[in-house]
Amino acid sequence: MSQEKTFYITTPIYYPSDNLHIGHAYTTVAADAVARFKRATGYNVWFLTGSDEHGQKIERKAKEKGQSPQEYVDKIVSGFKHLWTELEVTYDDFIRTTEERHKKVVQQIFQKLYDQGDIYKASYEGWYCTPCETFWTESRLEDGRVCPDCGRPVELVQEESYFFRMSKYAGTLLQHIENNPEFIQPVSRHNEMVSFIKSGLDDLCVTRTTFDWGIQVPFDTDHVAYVWVDALANYISALGYNTGDDSLYQKFWPADVHLVGKDIVRFHTVIWPIILLALGLPLPQKVVGHGWMLLDSGKMSKSKGNVIYPLELKEKYGLDAVRYYLLREIPFGDDGYYSEEALVHRINQDLANDLGNLFNRTAAMVVKYFDGVLQEPGALQGPDTELINLAQDTPQTLVNYMDNMEVSGAVASVGKLVNRVNKYLEETSPWALAKDPGQKDRLNTVLYNVVECMRQITVMISPFMPEFPQRAWPLLGLENNTELHSWESLVWGKLPGGTKLKKGKPLFPRIDPAALD
């Protein structure tokens, strides 16, 4: 009996903020591309996203707007869902930390950790960064008492609190990280976390009393749960951990990948695994910390007025172009720099010149020379074998990149095949072969090879650019032949002769860079 292959991937759950920008969209679109890719390659995938709705920051913002925190978050979270729908993000579940199913699990976790003596009461006096919802000891603060993560002033907090015995598990965690080098990726983040843990872990303050907007601690109702402990638990509460129906938990935990931005790697590779260790649960396979999408002017922020909204870009350039750009532009683990010029350059170069033009001009040739009907290929010669070999290797290359979460490399490897096909067209010049009746057989072979590559490119690119296939299949005359859309069909020569291609409008019209504002 073959065992079902499962794959559980999560994004961070986002703080409700007025609008998510392209940096947030990057994480979720990248996770979506991985989820789509895994589904296409035979996995039973669970893809989770959601919203992180508690904490002092939200309580304050709601107050500023004269709303209750619940009213405030409800409105924003419906905007998140709209955004993900518009970006064609295929999540399987959206967890809100204000949902009952989540609260119950967080309360059970607190109770268990308390009952087993891993949570104890003491009084907390120290520093708190409200924007980051992070506690800091004096020694970790930057000069001038600012948060070492975001550079904003911290606040002095003095309250009676409960603490979680992180220190008790530090050695076990360090051992796990050192024995499993793939646990934290990329390696730069692995190294950072190893030295962070080695510098000593303090017990973590896990409850607050000076505000109400949080999950009540079951054994002391004056306290609410620290928002990060609340938030991290989403990865198992959404699976029904420790409830009457924990079938999803049984099937999908431990997660294969928590995809997170580099700023929150520490929470996911120190606090979260220690909670899991204390609960006696398995740790996630991988935490991948991706780089940030930056602007020349620095970080995006509302106050600087330089926030780039994904839906505005979609409106202007189309979904596939925006997704392609995001996924291609941020190299694995590094930061990427957003600029509209770079986006337009990618559209004009990679999508209009290379990809779109390949499809449009090839379809036009088959229509012109054979009334659209693709002929059976003849004997191979010249550069055919090299092209076919690359086409046959590309699916495995893609699998390797995606297994390492190197989405940009994966997209680039499809681009490499596109470029090789374009070069092949120049090398074989079907337009010249068409003028010579003695070369009919060669012309058939060349066009067959090119169209078979186009079919395979369409299959391989669909997790990244989900709208592309809907436009490419009709051009290739394959819209109803879904068997040839599948990953299993990526075997050279599956495309039957006799397929009828159509001429179409440019798949990616060029954009005049001069027209940019």
Residue ranges that bind ligand ME8, judged by CB under 6 A: 12-15, 23-24, 26-27, 52, 231-232, 234, 260-261, 263-264, 292-293, 300
Nearest distance, CB of residue 137 and ligand ME8, angstroms:
21
Task: Report the distance separating Cα 311 and Cα 420, nearest Å.
Answer: 33
Nearest distance, CB of residue 60 and ligand ME8, angstroms:
15
Q: Which of 64, 127, 97, 415 is nearest to 233 (CA)?
A: 97
Nearer to ligand ME8 among residue 14 and residue 317 (C-beta): 14
Nearer to ligand ME8 among residue 283 and residue 293 (C-beta): 293
* Structure tokens given for 369: 């020379």
Vertex 507, ends 445 and 462: CA angle to 5°?
80
Nearer to ligand ME8 among residue 182 and residue 263 (C-beta): 263
Nearest distance, CB of residue 508 and ligand ME8, angstroms:
25
Residue 202's Cβ-count burial label (10 Å; 0-12, 13-18, 19+) is middle
| CB closest to ligand ME8, residue no | 261
Nearest distance, CB of residue 493 and ligand ME8, angstroms:
42
Nearest distance, CB of residue 20 and ligand ME8, angstroms:
7
Nearer to ligand ME8 among residue 129 and residue 260 (C-beta): 260
Nearer to ligand ME8 among residue 279 and residue 475 (C-beta): 279
Vertex 515, ends 509 and 516: CA angle to 5°?
105
Nearer to ligand ME8 among residue 106 and residue 217 (C-beta): 106
The answer for residues whose C-beta is within 8 angstroms of residue 2's C-beta and 6 or more apart is: none
Nearest distance, CB of residue 488 and ligand ME8, angstroms:
34
One-letter amino acid at 487 equals: W
Nearest distance, CB of residue 454 and ligand ME8, angstroms:
33
**The pairing of beta strand 44-51 with beta strand 6-14:** parallel
* Structure tokens given for 302: 């509302």
Other beta carbons within 10 Å of 151:
12
* Structure tokens given for 96: 């809100």
- Contact between 196 and 266 under an 8 Å Cβ cutoff? The reply is yes
One-letter amino acid at 367 equals: V
Nearer to ligand ME8 among residue 261 and residue 378 (C-beta): 261
Strand partners, 10: 48, 258
